[in-house]
Structure 1
Amino acid sequence: MFKRLLSTCIVFGMAATAPPAWAMNCADRSVVIERLQSKFSETLTVGGLQNNRQASSLVEIWSSGETGTFTILVTRPNGISCVVAAGTDFFEALPDTTPIGTPS
């Protein structure tokens, strides 16, 4: 009985102290940016502020024309950036323009 209780406590104790899954994708912004630039040749493409009840967060899309990769970051006011999404085959949507002149 004691062995079962002890093993159950150990298993649940380890699960309770394990870091959450989202913590693995977060780090100081300078560290994340350095890795995006050095490993994937990504540069900042677009960004903006996201306002919610707690605080504003900076949302950025980093991309590379060379490698075709992209990364979406959310940076909190404390300077911690989290990778929300990443992928390949990045493209830019160009605006539909009408040629200047008289239609034929």
Structure 2
Amino acid sequence: MSACPALLRFALPALALALLSAAPAWAQQHCAPREIIVGRLAEKYGESRQSIALSHGNQMVEVFASAATGSWTITVTRPGGMTCLMASGKAYETLTEQLPPKKKDA
């Protein structure tokens, strides 16, 4: 399974920016060192990293998911190593979509 390049390039950083600016109090309550977060996602939910991108301020945005259960989690890791849970859900699918054909000028 491979991640959609457009998702990596545009959607994940934009989502992280929106979530970071919209819910800083919530994010602060759900943060821990990266190794603890990644370990818990693997042990409790069977999730592994599916995609990665850089956001503003060199923040690392990652999507973790489980192919077995369809659960998913988006995390943001700050340069100092603190990782915050930003969103989670179910019914994760991996897509590889092609860009639409370029339109010819009239």
TM-score range, shorter chain: 0.5 to 0.7
TM-score (norm 1): 0.66
String of CA shifts for 1:2-43, please: whole Å, max 9, x gaps: xxxxxxxxxxxxxxxxxx433221111000000000011111
| Match status 1:25 vs 2:30 | yes
| Match status 1:90 vs 2:92 | yes
Distance 2:29 2:65 in 1: 21
- Percent of residue pairs identical: 31
In the other structure, the counterpart of 1:81 is 83
Q: What is the CA-CA distance between 1:73 and the residue it aligns to?
A: 0.4
Distance 1:31 1:59 in 2: 16
| Match status 1:64 vs 2:69 | no
Greater length-normalized contact order (CA 8 Å, ≥ 6 residues apart)? 2
Q: How do 1:24-43 residues align onto structure 2 when only pairs under 5 Å count?
A: 24-43=29-48
TM-score (norm 2): 0.65
| Match status 1:49 vs 2:85 | no
Distance 2:68 2:83 in 1: 24
Distance 2:26 2:94 in 1: 31
When the two chains are superposed, the root-mean-square deviation of aligned CA atoms in Å is 1.3
Larger Rg: 1
Structure 2: gaps spanning 5 or more residues: 1-24, 99-106
Equivalent residue pairs, number: 74
Distance 2:97 2:27 in 1: 35
Structure 1: gaps spanning 5 or more residues: 1-19, 97-104
String of CA shifts for 1:28-85, please: whole Å, max 9, x gaps: 100000000001111110001112xxx2100000011011100000000110000110
